[in-house]
Amino acid sequence: MSALIWYLAAFGAYTICIILATGQSFAWNESRSSFYLGKRQMSWFRTTATFCATWMSPLSLVGYSIWLYHDGYRAFFASVNGWMLGLLFFPFIVERLRVKRVLSMPEWLEKNYGDARVRKLVALTMVFLYTLYLVIQFRAFGVVVSYMLEIPAGFTATSLIYLFVLYTTFGGYASVVRSDVINMLLILAGITAGAYFIMPAGFTVKAAGDALLMKNARLAAAGVSSRELFSLFAIMFSWGLGVAGNPQYTVRLLACRTRKDAFKVTCLSPFIVGWIYICITFFVLVCHSCYPLIGNMEETMTFAKLNQYLPNAASTLMLIAVIAAAVSTANSQLLLAACSLCYDLFPLKSAEGDETDPMKEDKFLLVNRLAITAIASVALALCRAGLPDFLMLGRISWTLVAICYFYPLFWPRIIVKGMLFYVLCVALLLQFMFVFIAGISPEYSMPVVLAAEAAIFKLHKFFWADDDIFYIFPGSGADE
């Protein structure tokens, strides 16, 4: 049976499974609580599945794989170490996150630090970075579908994800979680199959060990300069802090049924994510060591070409795993971006109207679905705008997340509540200037910006004992 028939059958089966699974999530009586967080009634199993499926984006699978393919364990040191470091932070913030009954992380900031302007500022930043990050998912989906179905690469192939994410996201968080359970199982199966079947002479423990140790590998580690080592540490640090504070993951802890379930998610997820990274690392190292090298081309296409060394069934599972990763990450980001736009940026407008109006929630959720469509349309258009590669878009996004959430989540004692809005304004402005005007790498500028935030807070506490001095400004929350 030809590879094309395998690919067509698998893509059709995946489409049908997603439609059947998520179609049951469209409820007649919806509220914003059910739409954004599934009424906070998600079990630890479903939450673990959606947490890990959302974690494994095309950047984690494709971007990391191609970096590893070219640079060996330098990529593992900077990216995987950073991501796993970020996972270790989550158990320490579960209680702090769940103290407040909120529907979004920008709202959590407002309730904890008493400033509605902080909520709006961070929400605006989230809309920007999630729209940017959606481009990665759309691009990866389009290239893989083009390769599998032998249709022209470009708008036609990429736009197919538009239909997937709109359908799965319109049902709200419950729909996203249902699709993510399927996506997580497919990612696990696909990556594991790829690692098992990639060995030319069949899988053996000895051959696997030689591959992981890079024995006889053509990219055997050369010396690492001090400058390169600094760059790798900077990437690891920025990516670790970026994922640790990312609302994409923290809202899943908010949606858990109980605090105990949330802790279970944070304890189980590192094992699942770690297994996937081990398998994808093994797959790429074997491809580089044992098969002809593939020349320079677009990242996702290079990854797709690596699958030619697998049997048809395993190759199909690997490519479907990339599609599942793209869909699971995209629908989550769309829901969060719509929440930030409709619920956080305009919280008063979303609450307008007669309290007795039975259609009030339906109207609000309709606006959310229109926002989802608009944001997805913008991301789809940006796919043709010549934006940077996967790794650069990820670096920009994660550093912005770290700047917004690191101190509120992990070092709240340093914060002067009345100053948080002004400090974040300065920090975000500095980061944008460093990255987009000065051309400095995001991971280099982020530590400087975080240090500037801490310095401002410390200086204020040193010179003014009254932490509420800045509440005299209008709208800062002093009279709320």
Mention every residue, 6+ apart, whose C-beta is less than 8 A from residue 288. 69, 217, 218, 219
End-to-end CA distance of the chain: 68
CATH no. for 3-391: 1.20.1730.10
Structure tokens at 26: 């469209």
**Does residue 215 contact residue 424 with C-beta atoms inside 8 Å?**
no
pLDDT of residue 473: 38
- Give the Cα separation of 126 and 122 in Å (integer): 6
pLDDT of residue 347: 63
How far does CA 344 lie from the centroid of its chain?
A: 20
239 three-class SS: helix
**Does residue 16 contact residue 345 with C-beta atoms inside 8 Å?**
no
pLDDT tens for each residue of 386-403: 777 777 888 888 899 999
- Give the Cα separation of 442 and 269 in Å (integer): 27
Q: How many CA atoms lie within 13 A of 373 on its CB side?
A: 8
**Does residue 82 contact residue 237 with C-beta atoms inside 8 Å?**
yes
Query: Which among 134, 51, 85, 90 has a CA at the least distance from the CA of 394?
Result: 134
pLDDT tens for each residue of 263-316: 999 999 999 999 999 999 989 888 887 777 777 777 888 888 888 889 999 999
- Give the Cα separation of 338 and 371 in Å (integer): 6
**pLDDT band at residue 222, thresholds of 50, 70 and 90?**
low
pLDDT tens for each residue of 423-468: 999 999 999 999 999 989 998 999 999 999 999 999 888 777 554 4
Query: Which among 129, 163, 167, 175 has a CA at the least distance from the CA of 341?
Result: 129
Q: Which residue has the higher pLDDT, 1 or 302?
A: 302
Could you say which DSSP state residue 440 is in? -
- Give the Cα separation of 364 and 77 in Å (integer): 45
**pLDDT band at residue 355, thresholds of 50, 70 and 90?**
low
Q: Is the pLDDT of residue 79 over 60?
A: yes
pTM greater than the 0.85 cutoff: yes
Q: Which residue has the higher pLDDT, 189 or 475?
A: 189
Q: Which residue has the higher pLDDT, 208 or 437?
A: 437
Q: How many residues does the structure list for the chain?
A: 480
DSSP assignment of 270-297: HHHHHHHHHHHHHHHHHHHHHSPPP-S-
